[in-house]
Amino acid sequence: MLKSLKTVGFLTFFGNFVALVKIADIELGEFPLLLAPMEDVSDPPFRYVCKQYGADLMYTEFISSEGLIRDAIKSRKKLDIFDYERPIGIQIFGGDEEAMALSAKIVDATQPDLLDINFGCPVKKVVCKGAGAGVLKDIDLMVRLTKAVVKSTNLPVTVKTRLGWDESSINIMEVAERLQDVGIRALTIHGRTRAQMYKGSADWSHIARVKNNPRLHIPIFGNGDIDSPEKALEYRNRYGVDGIMIGRAAIGYPWIFNEIKHYFKTGTHLPKPLLANRVEVCRTHLLKSVEWKGPKLGLLEMRPHYTNYFKGIPNFKDTRTRLVTLNTLPEILEVLDQIPAQFEAASTV
């Protein structure tokens, strides 16, 4: 119980204690569900719909520390956050201590609720720069980078990382202990190595070992392969983590957060969204995209999402083709409005 007292707050209901997970002074509920930071996905329009459907803590797309310092337009744009998103974290990445420290000061000025460091991205163009999961090959550098960020901001600093570089160098326990020692306030672990990329199955047994380490008192969140309420409950009970981060399963399906919460409370499933519900959320996502990015870019970057929102609907190919080829908002909205009637038989898919 002593360990739990360090990681959570408590509320009393009729004499029973209900644990509340906290990152510094940020209360996240009993078992928070986090939206993963995903490049070209976790922008404000997508975060808006995920927040509407139960995400407890969200992060921006990861932002290059070098880009922030150069005042690159794309990097600066990713700093946009809104009050309805709170609590919200801004995630940065990089491999240079000075750049990370300076970018932390820039992030600090935008006043998010926390600052997250990405030590997990496996993409070659990031790793080759000595950033993301590339830092897993040099834990001393990881510690120096983290310490530089912690010293440069008043925000709680968290980290997202992987188990290690490859199967022969799984070093997550050392990483967790040393990063806690330099001041991080929570750790999210993706249960794969960098070598795995997104292939194979995530191994949560290493995440559980970290969580059960008596030397650690920060919240530990698990990430990887959570795509259903049943799996979320199984992994919560089996591995004992403080919360779960959900990534790919939320793309085109923000309902997953509330579905998991409902299943935790009742053991039953919420009804699947009807086709009309899918259209409504897709429409909201589209309008937010155009509002934030402008008509041209907003329409263009929305195109990949249509496949996910309407996944599994038979004979949808022609409609999808129209959605990704039309170039004006009124035309696309007209197609969306026609979908429920056109595919009524598939409305419960």
Active site residues: 121
Query: 226 is written with which tokens?
Result: 């959570």
**Pick from 242, 211, 267: which is nearest to 8 by CA?**
242
Query: 148 is written with which tokens?
Result: 């530089």
Could you give the residue ranges of the DSSP H alpha helices within 8-123?
44-52, 65-69, 73-77, 97-110
The DSSP H or E segment spanning 330 is helix 329-342
DSSP string of 203-225, one letter each residue = -THHHHHHHT-TT--S-EEEESS
Residue 59 phi, psi dihedral angles, 5° rounding: -125, 150
Which runs of E-coded beta strand occur in 163-262?
186-190, 220-223, 243-246
CA–CA separation, 119 vs 127, rounded Å?
Answer: 10
Query: 284 is written with which tokens?
Result: 């909201």
Q: Which amino acid is at 145?
A: L
